[in-house]
Structure 1
């Protein structure tokens, strides 16, 4: 696990309640009041989604809510920014999926 265990402002991690959540059907552990992004990073997850058209992997970029690269699906709600959303116990998080490019497909069929 890649976590700061004794932070000068946040305190000791052992003083915080542990919760579980799933990401892409795998169960992970997080600490209460931690963002989804922080929890995934601490558990070694680096890829959150794939680019909508190219399918190339995308992960954390700015981690402050500006870039939108960390969009995930949370409890069936799409395009949630992992860096701004606090993880909750039993939360279901799924990576962003590559969407079919309908326009490109229509052109290829002609």
Structure 2
């Protein structure tokens, strides 16, 4: 399981705590690289929901940049990605809402 997030993100902290008994590879999007294939698959699955338009990074962008290609935006500004993005067995989840938390809580411990 790969976990893409930020150390300082509250949702990521909650998710990391809940997943502490799982085998998880944690990748901080500021420090690590989100593979292009993962970004592309996430964008295809989640569409515009992948972009965190409430982030300070988004608010700091001008309108021309915001209107650009979402994949290019995420590559240039990885903190624009909603978090956490969790990849497991070919599937993906985005965010840490109750339905996602319940899904991972039901997994057997690794």
TM over 0.5: no
Which structure carries more helix by proportion? 2
Which structure carries more strand by proportion? 1
Please tell me whether Structure 1 or Structure 2 has the larger radius of gyration of its CA atoms: 1
Q: What TM-score do you get using the length of structure 1 for normalisation?
A: 0.24
Q: Report 1 or 2 for greater relative contact order, CA contacts < 8 Å, sequence distance ≥ 6.
A: 2
